[in-house]
Amino acid sequence: MNKYRIGIMHSDDFTVSELFKNLFTFKGYTLSEKLFYFKG
């Protein structure tokens, strides 16, 4: 996934704030998928 820059994590050295920013700005997920992300 990192090779093709798919999803929300594009590097191994990310912070929690980057995770939230990437999760909620990424247009490839629906709002419900974003909200249930942490349940998975």
Q: Is the dihedral of CA 37, 15, 13, 2 positive or negative?
A: positive
Q: Which residues neighbour 5 within 8 Å (Cβ) at sequence distance 6 or greater?
A: none
What are the percentages of helix, strand and coil residues in the chain, rounded to 5?
Answer: 45, 0, 55
pTM above 0.85, yes or no: no
The domain limits of the chain are: 1-40
DSSP 26: -
Residue 24 · residue 34 · CB < 8 Å: yes
pLDDT in tens, 10-40: 666 767 888 788 788 888 889 999 889 888 7
Q: State residue 7's pLDDT score.
A: 65
